Amino acid sequence: MHPRRLLLLFLLLLFIPPATTHAETPPNILWLTSEDNGPQLGCYGDKYARTPNLDALAARGLRYNKAWSNAPVCAPARTTIISGRYPTGDGGEHMRSMVPLPAGTLLYPQLLRAAGYYCTNNSKEDYNLDKPDGTWDESSAKAHYNKRPANQPFFAVFNTTISHESQIRTPGHKLVHDPAAAPLPPYHPDTPEVRHDWAQYYDKLTEMDQEVGRRLKELDESGLAETTIVFYYGDHGAGMPRSKRWPYNSGLQVPLIVYFPPKYAHLAPEGYQAGGSTDRLVSFVDLAPTLLSLIGKDAPPFLQGRAFAGAHTAPAPEFLHGFRGRMDERYDLVRSVTDGRFVYMRHYMPHLPYGQHLATCSRCLLPASGGIWPPRGN
């Protein structure tokens, strides 16, 4: 590691308060994440959805009703998470750009590892910035917390691609959800093709839910469920027109569920109760400081979010902020802000049409349903 980073790590460990003493051991932390889906889940009141595992997790934990991804597409959204910073200030807001990590900053896995955590990512990264060596203990399709040394606390991410937009419109899918009953947003035309796409989307959410259930069962069977704080969230809005890639609420609102076992109830947000919900405004920029707060450490000044749980919980923000930059090969500049009720959007390139041509969205094979612009990748 570069000497400057070693010095920064030393200073962080020297001046950040030690881990909480409320528990004999620090908590394990498990993140279960999914792609390209908003809060179209049973626990969010969607009667069309079939998501029993996530519904059960929400029945034990806390559901966030006002969570934003900050960016409506994967790479900028994930850059926000890994850095704990707004990519618009660092130059990483454009889809699959690559910028240097700002001097004097560290990514959250580096901070957790410095605090003694075994950190794994399974397996999507897709950051818009250079990732330093040693960011993760392991980041691969085989990364798992069960590889950690004995008695070492872990932080682990498991990401599923089942609900990704590329899977929503694959040909030959046999629908399980009834397309005639699909709840269409008012800005989509009521046609058989659109209904098919929404039904297939919900089918994929059910499959994603099954994967979440498998990971939760695995945690329980390992004997770690009562020492592990669990987060579930989607990485941005649904992979449907006017959601993914667009900083409306439909593109930025994500499901976020957190579960605290009784041993770590003192770290839970104020008002936490099984089956509860909160309207506190939270967004991806808040995840890194929240992780540090859960292990008893205050956030270093280069992190730009606010911890919403743990020993160093901060007051809720008044607003959440979203952004849209270049989407694949087409530049754009849109910013959005919400108070949790209204969304204000400002277009800084108003001469550009809403429906700019994107090769990703046009390079496709139409499924048997004749679905709408089914993309590949992203």
Please pick, among 74, 119, 361, 364, the residue that the annotation labels catalytic.
74
> Bridge partners of 31?
157, 231
Contacts of 289 (CB under 8 A, 6+ apart): 84, 299, 303, 305, 306, 307, 312, 314
Helix, coil or strand: residue 312: coil
Q: How many CB atoms lie within 10 A of CB 146?
A: 10
Q: Find out whether the peptide bond into 250 is cis, omega within 30 degrees of 0.
A: no
Distance (Å, rounded) from C-alpha 39 to C-alpha 250?
9
Q: Is 119 a catalytic residue?
A: no
Beta strands in the chain (DSSP E): 28-34, 62-68, 118-122, 138-139, 154-160, 228-234, 256-259, 276-283, 320-324, 334-338, 343-347
Distance (Å, rounded) from C-alpha 11 to C-alpha 213?
40
* Count of alpha carbons within 13 angstroms of residue 209, beta-carbon side: 22
Residues with catalytic roles: 74
